[in-house]
């Protein structure tokens, strides 16, 4: 036999289910935020990049602050370059005497001739 359900019990059940529904909706919103979903049917990929990147507002810097930074940078640059002075001069390149060049050319010609004769004997 079926029991009669009181209206107050049904109302309490409805309140409980509404609370559960709110909790589920909140959890879904958290998950969508983590995934980057931007409302119904749009994703972070479809949203403009500037909107996604500017989640945290940028801090503004006053003109006086910019000027102070610029002057400090110039001062550091000048101090760094004042210490360094001129770079050490490179030593002059060594020059080769004509006799040494002739010796190298003769050795190269000899090596080429040996390689050519080796190919000729292998190919024949």
User: Residue ranges of the domains in the chain?
Assistant: 1-55
**What CA–CA distance (Å, rounded) separates 34 from 30?**
6
Q: For residue 29, give both structure tokens.
A: 């919103």
> Do the beta carbons of residue 85 and residue 79 sit within 8 Å?
no
**Residue 51: band (very low, low, confident or very high) from pLDDT cuts 50, 70, 90:** low
Q: Measured over all CA atoms, what is the biggest interatomic distance in the chain, rounded to whole angstroms?
A: 123
pLDDT beyond 70 at 39:
no
Question: What is the pLDDT, as a whole number, of residue 55?
Answer: 73
pTM over cut 0.85: no
**Residue 74: band (very low, low, confident or very high) from pLDDT cuts 50, 70, 90:** very high
**Average pLDDT of the residues of the chain:** 84
Q: For residue 41, give both structure tokens.
A: 């049917």
**What CA–CA distance (Å, rounded) separates 10 from 104?**
106
**Residue 84: band (very low, low, confident or very high) from pLDDT cuts 50, 70, 90:** confident
pLDDT beyond 60 at 52:
no
**Residue 22: band (very low, low, confident or very high) from pLDDT cuts 50, 70, 90:** very high
């Amino acid at each position: 036999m079926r029991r009669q359900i009181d209206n107050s019990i049904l109302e309490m059940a409805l309140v409980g289910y509404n609370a559960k529904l709110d909790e589920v909706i909140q959890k879904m919103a958290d998950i969508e935020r983590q995934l980057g979903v931007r409302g119904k049917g749009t994703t972070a990929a479809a949203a403009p990049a500037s909107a996604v990147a500017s989640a945290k507002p940028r801090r503004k810097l006053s003109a006086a602050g910019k000027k102070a930074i610029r002057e400090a940078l110039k001062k550091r640059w000048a101090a760094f370059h004042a210490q360094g002075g001129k770079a050490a001069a490179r030593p002059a390149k060594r020059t080769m005497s004509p006799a040494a060049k002739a010796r190298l050319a003769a050795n190269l010609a000899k090596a080429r001739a040996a390689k050519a004769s080796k190919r000729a004997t292998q190919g024949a």
